[in-house]
Amino acid sequence: MSEPVQSSGAPSSTATADTPALQIEDMHAAYERVEVLRGVNLTVGAGQVFALLGPNGAGKSTTLRIVSGRMKPLRGRVLVDGRDIAGRSADRLARDGVCSVPEGRGVFPSLTVAENLRMWTFRGGLRRSEVEDAAYGRFPRLAERRKQLAGTLSGGEQQMLAMSRALSTKPKLLLLDEISMGLAPLIVAELYEVVGQIAREGFAILLVEQFASTALAVAERAAVMVQGRIEMEGTPAEIGAAAGALYLGAGSK
């Protein structure tokens, strides 16, 4: 196993500027006998925001599960910052700088807001005060709710808490899984404003969404996944134009 990647400082500090943040090569994966990924190739450049779109069951979340170390692929390679991550556990990858905001539930409901933030300090070398200051600076509402159990927060506030981790822990690669799911459009807009900010700060982000337009607005590159394959890749404009035709019924908002 290679040495752990430095986690503090600017993103992608150990790799040269042109090393992609994430490279997926010919990835196959299956749940029991059901094959869900059939040869996925995907590259997220350093500091790039990549939107991965597609209908339900296309394999988007499975791709994220593999990249975050929660599932093993059948075949294929995953390189983060140029290093093969094969065999690394989810917690190890998290400490190495791959930060996930999983679908729907990014917080610990029976821990307080402050305790949730303290969990983020498992990404080596981070101080409690650093993480808290960064989070409360971005979302003052969380500071008011410091001692409150995260489970009692509203959906939007919970997502803010989950996102604040991404902001305060300076990840190498940020994986966002359908952060808009089940939230009011206004809150989605607010969250995506934050995503845009993170993007401007130069973090590499792989973003999975069903709703095309919100994601495409912040992305620099996009792809559409259908039935376990990348069906099309291009600029957000190109994808936006073609998306409707690629997956009927799950079109843009």
Partner 1 sequence: MNEFISLTVAGIATYGCVYALTAMGLVVTYTTSGIFNFAQGAIGMISAFFFYELSRVWHIPAALALLIAVFIFAPAIGALLERLVMRRLENAALEAKLTVTIALLLLGIALATALWNPQTVRNLPNFFNGHQVSIGGVNLTYQQLIVVGAAVVAAIALRLFFIYTRAGIATRAVVDDRELAALTGASPARFAQLGWAMGCGLAALAGILIAPQQGALDITNLTLLVVNGYAAAMVGRLRSLPLTFVGAIVLGVLYSYALGYLPSTLIWNDFANITPMLFLLLVILVLPQSRAVLNRRIMVRAPRVVGLRESLIAGVVLVAAGVVVSRLLSGANLGYANAGVALGVIMLSLVLLTGYGGQVSLCQFSFAGLGAYAMYEVGGRGGSLLGILAAMGLAGAVGAVVALPSLRLRGLYLALATLAFAQGMDTYFFNNSQYFGAALSISVARPDLFGFRLDSERTLLIALTVVFAVVAVLILALRRSRFGRRLVAINDSPAACLTVGVDMTRSKLAVFTLSAAIAGLGGALYGGVQTQVGPNDFQFILSLTLLLIAVVWGIRTTAGMLFGGIVFALSPLLGQHLTHPRDIFNLMVGLAAIGVSQNPEGTFGGNTLLQRWRDSRRPGEPDAVAPSVGASAGEGRLTHAAG
Q: Which of residues 71-90 bind partner 1 (CB under 8 A)?
A: 71-72, 74, 89-90
Instruction: Give the distance from CA 122 to its chain's centroid.
Output: 18
Contact 50, 25 (CB under 8 A): no
Q: State the pairing for strand pair 34-44/49-53.
A: unpaired
> Which stretch, 15-23, 40-48, 53-61, 133-141, contacts partner 1 (CB under 8 A)?
53-61
Here's the x/- map for partner 1, 109-128, by CB under 8 A: it reads as: xxx---x--xxxxxxx----
Burial (CB < 10 A; 0-12, 13-18, 19+), residue 67, is buried
| Residue with smaller CB distance to partner 1, 107 or 223 | 107
Instruction: Give the distance from CA 164 to its chain's centroid.
Output: 13
Contacting partner 1 (CB under 8 A), which of 32, 129, 147, 186?
32
Q: And the tokens for 20? A: 């992609």
Contacting partner 1 (CB under 8 A), which of 81, 132, 157, 178?
178
Query: Is 30 a binder of partner 1 (CB under 8 A)?
Result: yes
CB of 93 to partner 1, least distance (A): 8
Q: How far apart, in whole angstroms, are the C-alpha atoms of residue 77 and residue 83?
A: 10
What is the number of other CB atoms lying within 10 angstroms of the CB of residue 39? 13
Q: Residues in the site for partner 1, rule: CB under 8 A?
A: 29-34, 36, 56-62, 65, 68-72, 74, 89-92, 94-95, 99-100, 102-103, 105-111, 115, 118-124, 165, 177-178, 208
